[in-house]
Structure 1
Amino acid sequence: MTATTDGNAGAVSPRTAVAGKTTDTALPEGAAPAPGRTLPEGAAPGRTLPEGAAPAPGGLGETAARAAARAAEHLLARQDPAGWWKGDLETNVTMDAEDLLLRQFLGILDPDTTRAAALHIRREQREDGAWATFYGGPGELSATVEAYVALRLAGDPPEAPHMARASAWVRARGGIAAARVFTRIWLALFGWWRWEDLPELPPELLFLPKWFPLNIYDFGCWARQTIVPLTVVSAKRPVRPAPFPLDELHTDPARPN
């Protein structure tokens, strides 16, 4: 058994001297540097301190420095020689829900797509009935409204236990009326919300010059890709009749808006 740099027993990474200080420069056990990349001199994956060696002295600051050095080396080992990193981009269920809403609006919703999306949305539901906007996060109202409506489109009945928990969670937080504008625009496409109760987004915004405050080029590219089509939709105010009501998501169904 070998001594670790934090005083525990087990395998540890090596330490090298840098500017008079000791830093941890090793990769995690079993890891290897990316092709074309070399470790600092004297470092090796999974290398341990000699048998019986004592951990280097130091307080919280040195412990943090060692952890930062290990994290940096781990990231460098995963970097492509060209300079980039590859990783998963994970979003939340609003993307799947809005995809089903769009397909329903365009009249191209098919059973296979609906079944697959609904399966994923159900799997992501929290125990309290809500949906989060990031992994392990708290329930979020607008995401929950959109996920719920998507499951209704998939055929889940409102009295089903998982749906009843979701609708109760939504009502307890103000219902659809408290959801974000973007969510209510989606609902307005089906008559579940009145266009008159949404902010105006005139297409003429596109003609504002770049020097004018809040012109379209003041927004990031992803925001422009959203705002521009929304101005057209807002001007046209299309409505495709909804296949079912959403009274269960309103705190007062008699006055939903």
Structure 2
Amino acid sequence: MKKKIENTIHKLVSDLQDKQNAEGSWSFCFENSVMTDAYMIILLRSLDMHDEELVGRLVNRLWKLQTREGTWKLFEDEKEGNLSSTIEAYFALLYSGTVKDDDKRLEKTKHFIEKKGGLNDAHSITKFMLAINGQYDWKHLLPIPIEFLMIPKQFPLNFWDLSSYARAHLAPLLLLKDQQFSIKMNGIPQIKHLSRRSHEVNYSDRELKLFSKINEGLQSLINIPSHLHQQGRQFAQQYMLQRIEPDGTYLSYFSTTFYMIYALLALGYKKGDPIIIKAVQGLKKMACETEKGIHLQNSPSTVWDTALISHAIQEAGVNAGDHSIEKAVEYLLKKQHFRYGDWAMESGIKPGGWGFSESNTIHPDVDDSTAALRAITYSAAESPLIRQSWDRGIEWVIGMQNRDGGWPAFEKNKTKPLLTSFPMDGAEAAAIDPSTPDLTGRALEFLGSRAGLNKDHPQVKRGVQWLKLMQKDDGSWYGRWGVCYIYGTWAAITGMKATGVPSSDKHIQRAKAWLERIQHKDGGWGESCYSDQEKKYVPLPFSTPSQTAWALESLICIEDKPTPAIDLGIMALLDLINGTSDDPSKTYPTGVGLPGHFYIHYHSYRWIWPLITLSRYKEKYG
């Protein structure tokens, strides 16, 4: 087995070095289901932009992803299909003009949509798209007035309390709702009939409490002149325009840019306005190739992939002086942030983080920052200039710790529980930016293994204490940005171990027992995206390379010598790496954007995590 491990490590490193771009980066596809592809077709058609080649290629990919049942899914084991994805694909195919309403391939699709409750039961994000295109009534959406944006920061509940991701979407959506905006043109498919006839919106007690709090805030503004409404509209417009990145996109996301374009149209911008033209060009640059054809990424993962890959190949023995690492480090240093963004309002620290996409200059996040810092650590030891960047990065990461001791994704202390009742699907995950076990574990792993801070350091100590409090009864931790309990447990174990928590610690022993308990008979690990929706571990019928690697790395850092679970797992991992490309384990999404709605197949993960795990095994056990 030793020889096979060495050969596999060598092959993975060689494959990755061959895939490196001339500028030092790696660009792998960040693939979600069909939302972005469908929305791109809809956007091009509603803007009268005649890019027939792109529309045709996107239509081809949609057809290839349709199931035999006529539906579209978010992940392989999703039963029947996903209602929102199916509506999005169905509407986009009709909008493309290349598909007729009576196309035989769509008969089952219509039946599925009606059976599942029609447009009324789709995700909020889908309904907003439909409302813009005149297929859903705005009165059923977002019962929040645009004046909400003007509630002062010192008030107990205001716009700035929301997560940056929620604010980025809410600014254009409030504008669109305020204007009741819908595109008026020929050629828009009419699918309103797929709604239920009567539609009552019933709000929960928590939602009503939220509305009451917002109303209190609005009452405090009563004495302000009546142009408050206009101020709210101007604020929303400025909020978007000030966050346009150099490539023309709004915060480097497809979804925010898509809604910004329509919000600008609602404000009176013309379809040919330079801001809109540049935004569409920025979105087109997000295209990547997949086995099923062209795909529009929601947010290209170049910085993330480059940071993780350059770290992984260094862990596999490639020297920091190697040309591939020097080029990667040079690229990453150019992508470090020097501009202040919204994150600075709460943190009071200097810029120094990294973002996810290469066009991202003002929206850094903790996970990308620790990934980039890991990748430049060895180089920083050799170069005072790189060391300065490394020091700035560490200062930024430590400065982003939440009051509770954990780490968030984008901004500190955006944790008001009432906001999880915001009247949009997915608000419990997206409206706030709380500490999460995966981000906290990853931050601790970096601070322990690379920055030399141990469990006695005050901030590390608080992080470890918070993690221990978050452990589930079965011994696992929930991971917010990966699937899901395996991911969170891996991050927590490796984070605590890196800061000096002993393997004998009861939290680590419980986690180890859980990982061994859920190991598949083939030796691997596999977890379904359903875990994320049911908030409990749901196994996949097959193992995946990244989840197997995460579970194994956790066990390797606990055990002084290989155990039967580890040896069986390593053999399974080697089989998964060398398996055929059409194996479903290679394409199963193991990243999460929005629980229940947005899952990510990172094309880079089948190289990165197995390479790190095999290198750890070889280094520790010889």
Relative to the length of structure 2, the TM-score reads 0.27
Find the counterpart in structure 2 of residue 69 from structure 1: none
Relative distance call for 1:236 and 1:109 in structure 2 (3 A) is farther
- For 2:122 and 2:12, locate their aligned partners in 1 and report how far apart those are by CA, in whole Å: 47
Match of 2:32 among 86, 91, 108: 91
Q: Is the 8 A contact 2:41 2:92 kept in 1?
A: yes
1:84-233 maps to which residues of 2 (within 5 A)? 87-134=28-75, 137-138=78-79, 139-155=81-97, 156-210=99-153, 212=155, 215-233=158-176
Find the counterpart in structure 2 of residue 31 from structure 1: 10
Give, in angstroms, the shift of residue 135 of structure 1: 5.1
Relative distance call for 1:187 and 1:116 in structure 2 (3 A) is same
Relative distance call for 1:206 and 1:109 in structure 2 (3 A) is farther
* AA matched with 1:31: H
- For 2:95 and 2:130, locate their aligned partners in 1 and report how far apart those are by CA, in whole Å: 13
- For 2:7 and 2:119, locate their aligned partners in 1 and report how far apart those are by CA, in whole Å: 48
Give, in angstroms, the shift of residue 203 of structure 1: 2.7
Match of 1:249 among 194, 209, 212: 194
Higher relative contact order (CA closer than 8 Å, sequence separation 6+): 2
- For 1:209 and 1:13, locate their aligned partners in 2 and report how far apart those are by CA, in whole Å: 63
* AA matched with 2:109: A
- For 2:137 and 2:110, locate their aligned partners in 1 and report how far apart those are by CA, in whole Å: 20
Give, in angstroms, the shift of residue 192 of structure 1: 1.2
Q: Is the 8 A contact 1:101 1:186 kept in 2?
A: no
Relative distance call for 1:214 and 1:104 in structure 2 (3 A) is farther
- For 1:128 and 1:91, locate their aligned partners in 2 and report how far apart those are by CA, in whole Å: 20
- For 1:34 and 1:211, locate their aligned partners in 2 and report how far apart those are by CA, in whole Å: 52
Relative distance call for 1:30 and 1:191 in structure 2 (3 A) is closer
Give, in angstroms, the shift of residue 167 of structure 1: 1.0
- For 1:102 and 1:196, locate their aligned partners in 2 and report how far apart those are by CA, in whole Å: 23
Relative distance call for 1:144 and 1:109 in structure 2 (3 A) is farther
* Structure 1 gap ranges (5+): 1-11, 15-24, 36-74, 79-83
Give, in angstroms, the shift of residue 219 of structure 1: 3.4
Relative distance call for 1:196 and 1:112 in structure 2 (3 A) is same
Give, in angstroms, the shift of residue 226 of structure 1: 1.2
- For 1:212 and 1:27, locate their aligned partners in 2 and report how far apart those are by CA, in whole Å: 59
* Structure 2 gap ranges (5+): 20-24, 201-622
After superposition, what is the alpha-carbon deviation per residue over 1:67-100, rounded to whole angstroms, capped at 9, x for unaligned? xxxxxxxx9xx9xxxxx98643111111111122
Q: Is the 8 A contact 1:201 1:230 kept in 2?
A: no
- For 2:106 and 2:52, locate their aligned partners in 1 and report how far apart those are by CA, in whole Å: 20
* AA matched with 1:157: K
* AA matched with 1:237: Q
Give, in angstroms, the shift of residue 210 of structure 1: 4.1
Q: Aligned pair count?
A: 189
Q: Helix, strand or coil for the counterpart of 1:107? A: coil
* AA matched with 1:207: M
Q: Is the 8 A contact 2:136 2:192 kept in 1?
A: no
Relative distance call for 1:205 and 1:240 in structure 2 (3 A) is same
* AA matched with 2:190: P
- Runs of 4+ in structure 1 deviating by more than 6 angstroms, as ranges, are none
Q: Is the 8 A contact 1:130 1:166 kept in 2?
A: yes
Relative distance call for 1:212 and 1:165 in structure 2 (3 A) is farther
1:22-101 maps to which residues of 2 (within 5 A)? 26-27=5-6, 29=8, 31-32=10-11, 34=13, 87-101=28-42
Relative to the length of structure 1, the TM-score reads 0.61
After superposition, what is the alpha-carbon deviation per residue over 1:145-194, rounded to whole angstroms, capped at 9, x for unaligned? 01100000123122222211111111110011111222122111222111
* AA matched with 1:233: L
Question: Which structure would you say has the larger Rg?
Answer: 1
- For 2:59 and 2:89, locate their aligned partners in 1 and report how far apart those are by CA, in whole Å: 9
